[in-house]
Structure 1
């Protein structure tokens, strides 16, 4: 694994911001009040200037294309994601705010949110390095330590849960494996942005079939096993809504089940090794408190992009378990920085509190992780719309959290 793939990618979301070196700066040129305009479409990605001054830098991205797109700020190696804003619908605008250290970067957009992207261009940051100091620095350091402990705890619980789940699957005890599937995934879903920052680890663990096919990858992980456990009906379609579920696919034999199970165990072990490594500690220190707030934003975005559509757990219908786990992980990250954020913007914190409470109340009407959720397919269109509206209502104030904690 390339150690450069740090957690600086954590929590891409609307209005997301990323702290590049655990630093807070005064607002310089190119800051939130003087945002850089980005014009994106299906074939290009143009930033109105190729330079900025170190400190807080904001990008306002407008999508003039026909596909949902993403905007990235990449480190000099072109691999590490420094900042990202995703799910920019055609005709919509979203913002990305970072605190940028001096150095060379790249910008690009990804129409369709797949592939290598378009319009890759050099971007440079000049000026002096920025640094934090005083009591704020101590509070932020403590917050980062708490978030690290949360991530490690979840992964530590994920490891044995995956072992048990895989054992049932490879032994052919499908009833037990089906019961364990959503419970096991909850540990992963609470901290998924950590794995997403590590290159191909999240695709190996958690890619849906349609994503793997679109990117030409071998399909492995939870959702490959899911399809074995919930064998699709002969007239079922894949998540793309077009491809017959049985096309070019057969249930796994014993040897294939063993291989898929071993791969999932190995990938989760790799994740566990990483979160207990010096690289993880260093990445969190580099990302600072923005890593946590971006995690809260990114996990809610996971709900908005995969769970609310019912595409995440296409075969099992267990999307509400993932939905709940994402919300729990998001709220946990928010709670870690809540007191600090309240000193900056009490009204914003109150709005976020209300948003989580309303969303949790609506989710509880359909079950819980402990007692079980109804199948996502049983929800009416009105019930799905209610959840979607509540997600959007929470996303708006939550998208401002990183900016608030960086002030």
Structure 2
């Protein structure tokens, strides 16, 4: 679940992308081929977009947060689905995101407080764009298959988890809790593109607002590890399965492109840095390292599918990503225990910093992936 109370310093450290030239404030954006950037200025109550039109193809958005709250940029397709997003843009910081857009009218939205809502401006994309490398089409097709497999795995394991909850079998439910989340965590950016499914299944107690109905994994997590009683949790277990079935029915319609894959990989690393490394995600169960591993695996899967093109276009970046993924995976093995990982509350401050440093070292080059595949 995206954390909505993120330190600005963390956002600044994690959201740098390779510098691209800005297009200014003209009505037409010179964003063709990723050679220019559409300036976006976000505040707590406004979203000023420096262009109303752009040519089809790779479009880069350069966003600056001049507000007092952490912000996010979302690009919404004509059907309302999230094409791509960049979260955790701290006050006084900025970020760039490159995305492949075909003809149509999109919404560029800024969301102060990362609520998934906020002011937006229409962007009309015209033309055909350049031909896409067929290897990237193959990568998208393979990723769709991977996403479907992860959703199926999550639904199957969540169904087992729900049965244990309804049976009042606390020990079994605890054993099944973390494994039921792995598939979800591997493809969370895709799942988030469907709007309300994410808060229904993955909302944390710390992110509840007045009037929110708390459902999903973390509500049951609290019952298992904090209150120690599953009484009354059966309906929430059923709702979790129902919401995941909804995700399964919709996931085939997700908007996926090479750039959305690359941006999603970066989002998964941001999830690690702002939720898993801090221990905020699994407050009661302390199974954060299982989620950590799943996020990294999901990001590495994307990179692996895009790697043939990346290696050809930027061999140095490919080499760096190979090295950094290997370092993070190696560091995670230090905390393995049986088929899982040690409880995160047993990981000391120094070790948490080591994990954070490795994630940041991977996040920086990973942020360049979308620009490379969009060339």
Listed one character per residue, the Cα deviations across residues 195-246 of structure 1 (whole Å, up to 9, x for unaligned) are 21112112211111233x227432111111101101259xxxxxxxxxxxxx
Listed one character per residue, the Cα deviations across residues 10-32 of structure 1 (whole Å, up to 9, x for unaligned) are xxx94789xxxxxxxxxx81243
CA contact (8 A) 1:15 1:97 kept: no
CA distance in 1, matches of 2:177, 2:323: 31
1:382 aligns with 2:350: yes
Task: Name which of 173, 176, 185 aligns with 2:169.
Answer: 173
CA contact (8 A) 1:58 1:98 kept: yes
CA contact (8 A) 1:14 1:96 kept: no
CA distance in 2, matches of 1:262, 1:80: 26
Structure 2: 5+ residue runs without aligned partners?
A: 1-13, 19-28
1:124 aligned residue: 124
CA contact (8 A) 1:54 1:102 kept: yes
CA distance in 2, matches of 1:71, 1:42: 12
2:21 aligned residue: none
1:192 aligns with 2:165: no
SS of 1:132's partner is coil
1:72 aligned residue: 74
CA contact (8 A) 1:170 1:261 kept: yes
Structure 1 residue 352: deviation in Å?
0.8
Structure 1 residue 311: deviation in Å?
1.1
1:316 aligns with 2:273: no
2:223 aligned residue: 228
1:217 aligns with 2:212: yes
Q: TM-score, normalised by structure 2?
A: 0.86
Residues 219 and 16 (structure 1), Cα distance of their counterparts in 2 relative to 1, 3 Å cut: farther
CA distance in 1, matches of 2:106, 2:16: 20
Listed one character per residue, the Cα deviations across residues 103-136 of structure 1 (whole Å, up to 9, x for unaligned) are 323222111112522x4223333x4222526xx2
How many residue pairs get matched? 351
1:406 aligned residue: 374
Task: Name which of 145, 156, 162 aligns with 2:158.
Answer: 162
2:106 aligned residue: 105
CA contact (8 A) 1:15 1:85 kept: no
1:292 aligned residue: 261
1:96 aligns with 2:91: no
1:6-405 equivalence runs, <5 A:
14=15, 29-31=30-32, 32-76=34-78, 79-114=80-115, 116-117=117-118, 119-125=119-125, 127-132=126-131, 136-137=133-134, 139-211=135-207, 213-214=208-209, 216-231=211-226, 253=231, 256-275=232-251, 277=252, 279-280=253-254, 283=255, 287-367=256-336, 371-405=339-373
Q: TM-score, normalised by structure 1?
A: 0.80
SS of 1:82's partner is strand
Structure 1 residue 151: deviation in Å?
1.8
